[in-house]
Every structure is written in C-alpha cells, then in structure tokens.
Amino acid sequence: MEIKPDVQPASITSEDEAKRAVHKLREAIRLHNYRYYVVDDPIISDAEYDQLMAALLDLEARFPELASPDSPTQQVGGKPREELGTVEHPTPMLSLKSVQDENGLRDFNRSCRQKLNEKVIEYIAEPKYDGLAVELIYQRGRLVVASTRGDGQRGEDITANVKTVREVPLVLLGQEGEVIPERLVVRGEIFMRIAEFRELNERRARAGEPPFANPRNAAAGSVRQLDPNITAQRSLHIFLYEATHVEGREFETQWQVLETLPKWGLKVNKERLRICSGVEEAIQFHRELAQDRDHLEYEIDGSVFKVNRLAYQKQLGVRSRDPKWAVAFKFKPRQMTTRINAIEVQVGRTGVLTPVALLEPVQIGGVEVKRASLHNLSEIERKDIRIGDTVLVERAGDVIPYVVKPVMEQRNGSERQFTMPDKCPVCGSEVVLSDDRKTAVCTGLACDAQIRRRIEHFVSKGGMNVQGLGEKMVDKLAGAGLLKRLSSIFELNRDDLLSLDRMGAKSTDNLLREIEQSKQQTMARFLFALGIPLVGEHLARVLAENFATLPDLMQASREELQKINEIGPEVANSIVRFFADQKNRSVIAEMLAAGVQLSNPLYQAEYEPLPLQGVTFVFTGTLERWTRSEAKALVESLGGRAVSGVSRRTDYVVAGPGAGSKLQEAAKHGVAVMDEKQFAEFIDRYRKHL
C-alpha cells in the first residue's frame, strides 16, 4: 500500500484511470485513519492527509459512478432523516450489575470463585465510560449497522451518524496479518472529551442555544441527530470493549479480543486496561482510577471488571438483565440535593448576564459546592427553578456544577420566581433580553465588568484595527488604571506608556502612531467596534449602507430600522436601546472629541448595488498575498460576504495550501473552488469599484 499515492486528479480523464486512483487513495486514507485514530502514530502531516482527501473528493465528484457508501469521504455527513429507525440486536445488549463499595466487589468475586471452583480468578479491568453505549456490525469487513442499546433487545438505528465519527472505520483493516472476519459484532462507548464539550457549550452560548448538561448528554444528543451533518460537526470519540460475535475466529480470553480489535482498525483504551489476578488487584485498580478520574480528558463514573476467560463467562451465564461474569464498581455519586438560597446575576467579559444559584453548601464528589450556574432565563423558566427550591445539583469532573432540576415534592409555597433585571447590576445600563429569553446583554460601553473585553474587541482587526494593542497590552494598561472606558484609548500619552514595565520608546511611539491612525475610520468599522449587541461585521455594513452619518443612525427609530432588509425587531430594539443609553452617547462623544473622524464610502443616496452584492465567499487554508482579514475586507468592499462555514448558499470557496474539511463541504454542496491566483484574477476584474 502506498503511503502517499502519486495521484494528480486533473490529469485523469478515463474511468479506468479514476477507478485505480480512487482505490489507491481510499486504501491510503484508511491506513492513515488507523495510524492517527487507533495507534496514535501518524506517519504523514495533516496537510498531506488533507491533500489525499481533496484528491479523492475531486475524483468522486467527477466520476460519481465510483462513489461508495464506505468511502472515507462519507464520514462528513449525509441527508437528514425524518426519524431514527430501530434495530434488533443479534444478542441482548445487557446492562451491568453495580456494586457501591469494596465489600460488594469482594462478594462478586466470592460468588464467581464458588461457581467456577477456582481459588483465584483473573479479571479484565477497564473504566466505566459515561457516554453512549453502541453496537457496530461489520459484514465482510464493512460497517453495515450501528445502533444504541435501547431497551437491550432493540436500539435506535444510528448508522448514518456513527459513520461521521472518524475513529469508527467504515472498512476494517487487516493489520499484522490478522484476517478480517466474515461477520463481526462489537460494542463500545461513544463519548465527547471534556474540553470539546466546553467548546461546544461556548459555541452554543454564543449562538443563544441552551447548553448541554454534561458530556454524556452532548454525545448522546449528537449521535441521535436526525441530520448526520450536525453529528459530523461535533467532536466524538469511541472506545470498543467487547466482541459478541466473530465469525471464523476463536478466542480464549477477553484480553485476546482487546489485543485483536486494534489490528482490525477498532480503537480500544489500551492505556487504561489491566489484567488483575484476584479481587485485591481489582480493588487497587479501582482506587488508582478514582485518583486519576479528574485528570482524564473524558468522563467516567466507575470501573468495570469482567472474568477474563471466555469459557468461564459462558459457564457463569447471564441473568435476565445483566451477565453474572461482569460487574460495575461505581464511584461516589456526583449528584446531591440542596437548597437555593438566592440567585445572583453575574456580568461576564462579553456583557452577557448569567444567573448563578447561591446554594446551601453541600459535598459532591468530595468537593464543597456553594454555587451553580443556571445558564440563562430560558433554562430557569423551562426547568421552573425558584428561589428557595430544593434542587438536584450535579458536579461532573471539574465541570462547573449545575442545577439538574427542582424537587417539586419539597415545595411549601414560600419559593419565589426569579426575574432577570432590566438594568445591569454593575453599571446600571439597559439590559437587552433576546426574544427566546436565552441571552441577556448589558449595553453599557463603560461597564466595569466588561471593559477589558470591550476594548479588545474595539481595537481588533475587524474594528479600529490598532496594531500592538492586544490582550496582554490591554490587561497591562487596564491594570495600571489607564483604561476605564473605550475613549481612554485616545487619552493615552507617551509618559503613561513609558511608565509601564518593558515599554520602551520605540514600542511606545509605534503604539501611539497606530492609535492616531485609527482615528481616521469608516463608519462600518466603527459601528462593529462599538460592540452593539446583535450587530456583527455584516450588519454594521448594512447600517452604514443605509445611514449617511453616525448621528443619523443614533436618531433612528425602531420603525425606520425595521424597514431595512436583514434587520428585524430584535436587532432594531438592540440598536435603539444602545444609542438611547446616555452613558454610551457620552463615550461616543468623547471619542469624536478626541479626533475620531468617520467616513462612509458605503452610503449612496441613490443606491447602486456593488458588483459582488449577494455573493458569498469562504476562505480556507493559507493565503500568501493577503491575510484572511484583508481578503475578507476586499470582498466586503465590493459588496460580497465572507463567512466561516460552507453551505449550499456559498458561491465560492477560496482554498490555499493546507485547506481541510471545507473542501469536502464544497464538493458535497457543489460549490465552486478557486485557488489564490484565480481569486486574485477574479477580484482584479472589479478593481475599478474599489
């Protein structure tokens, strides 16, 4: 097998040539998936892998008759479905009996010893993953069915979604001479790493969507999506831990199974597996795992112990619900009930107001919990959480504790409803609450709780574009008391800057020059820099196209704003409230008085569409002639839009070296792709409009 097949898609014109090239590319990509996901030992760079995938996508697009459901390109999504079907498991997918302490594990061991008439029994020890249990069925080496546990007899058909999980091979490999079985049924756990779970919740918060409660819910919700394309956007992983049917291959022990699965390209958690001789070694494994629990990158809630010899498993048999040869040893619970004494509202660095429950202190998982995030008003109302409620609180790993639900049976009528304040508790400015009640934002430009973040946004490339005034410098200036509001930037002087540690004359002069240059600014950039809630770069341009001057916009009514295409009542309300705030008007007046001058080349009294009006671009990979921000600004100056994600509404994808999954998305949606040279030629046609 070639590690990097020398395939040049553009030179291939016949179907026979394409067929050979596609075969080589698929074999190579499967090998590299195995090296990357299963054995964690890649042998090519990410850029080289992306080149192989791009070549395969190109050939499959040009020769659609070569498309195959088990091609690596199919691990990026599929058509949405109306509902998930059901699948009957070949053998029941049982749960595990649990024990709560070491004596319970000793009782289990004693029972196994007596039934097997053995003095010492060998166990396989592994973590009990807190994810979604799944079953995978391979026929002739190809994945044909994936399903959830369901009721143990039948589960949900999640085949299309599981195919998007990169760690699940669509076609098995035969590594180290291992023959691929005619039929293979394996089981495991799909999960989401804690860091990826947090990132997902942060993205959902920014989009005004409710957060997932914990990584398990996030993984389960992702796998059960009706649209596989949504699943493909989530970071999901899998560990396989059992083979219930292997046609044409015999094993003596569970350990042999776990050693063989990776040779077929199936991932096991080799770092956390152990053979334990007797129950005391098993107990020691559990103690060590409990100590390591909070340092793992994924959630677990205990240990699992299985009798190693498969003949012994068969001899011990099963009950109606669980096998007699395996047991789960659970960790101490991380859910407890306590009382909400009050609900406090915090103002974050972005101006978002977050309600936080102040709890009667309670020990959860060995940690005292006094506070728990309630996320947003919509969540509070959905769960009907009230001040004075007895509530169930969960702490999973080192994830911030949260309130699962109120205990309705404990209510006595003294509980009080929570209301989101209409004024910021820090600065007193107006609070804008979104229509779905998921996001509440302080509109104050001078709010102490968010001034540093507002300044970072204000001076960013998309805003005033002040080079040299990054996060560290903003923190240094704010820490020295030199930045108390946005207009403070234009009050900085040479003596102020030279008084700071490690600020020399050259860097001081450079920063002051950048600040001075930023005063000559376009109205669109200034509006974006202000950080008006719900107004991003695109809407800032829309506003500049429709209002000649800043005073015109500041005096605009909700009705005037809603006449503009793309501006609805929620955005209009946000803009009016922002400019109605006297503190905001004062900060803007201070900046204008300091010399900020706004031009507005986008406004045209008799509106004439710009040449790229309505044309959408996506940039991916490395650009050499421009930075990504410069290319984006170039497109927008001609009336176009630059967005981050590829969809069927995208017109062009501009791809530089190292372009990745966006090329796959472009091929899937039939979006035209151009390189940087072609993009430059395309833009040059419209230079006269700049």
The dihedrals phi and psi of 327, each to the nearest 5 degrees, come to -150, 150
Question: Nearest 5°: CA angle at 533, between 528 and 537?
Answer: 30
How many CA atoms, within 13 angstroms, populate the side-chain half-sphere of residue 294? 11
Dihedral angle of Cα 440, 444, 449, 452, to the nearest 10 degrees: 120
345 within 8 A of 356, measured Cβ to Cβ = yes
Helix pair 471-479, 451-458: axis angle to 10 deg:
140
As a residue count, the chain comes to 690
For residues 28 and 3, is the Cβ–Cβ distance under 8 A? yes
Contacts of 210 (CB under 8 A, 6+ apart): 204, 375, 376, 378, 379, 382, 438
Active site residue 128: yes
Q: Which positions ≥6 away from 290 have C-beta within 8 Å?
A: 331
**How far, CA to CA in Å, does 255 sit from each of 4, 300, 356, 646?**
34, 21, 47, 44
- Burial code of 520-550, b = ≥16 C-beta within 10 A, e = fewer? ebbbbbbbbbbbbbbbebebbbbbbbbbeeb
The alpha carbon dihedral of 404, 401, 342, 431 has a sign of negative
Q: What gap in Å lies between CA 186 and CA 261, rounded to an integer? A: 9
Neighbours of 82 (CB within 10 A): 5
The catalytic residue among 128, 263, 267, 438 is 128
Q: How far is CA 321 from CA 154, 324, 633, in A?
A: 14, 10, 62
Location of structure tokens 């990826």: 196
In this structure, the dihedral spanned by the alpha carbons of residues 145, 149, 152 and 156, taken in order and rounded to 10 degrees, is -60
Residue 371 Cα distances to 346, 348, 365, 575, 676, angstroms: 12, 16, 15, 34, 51
Active site residues: 128
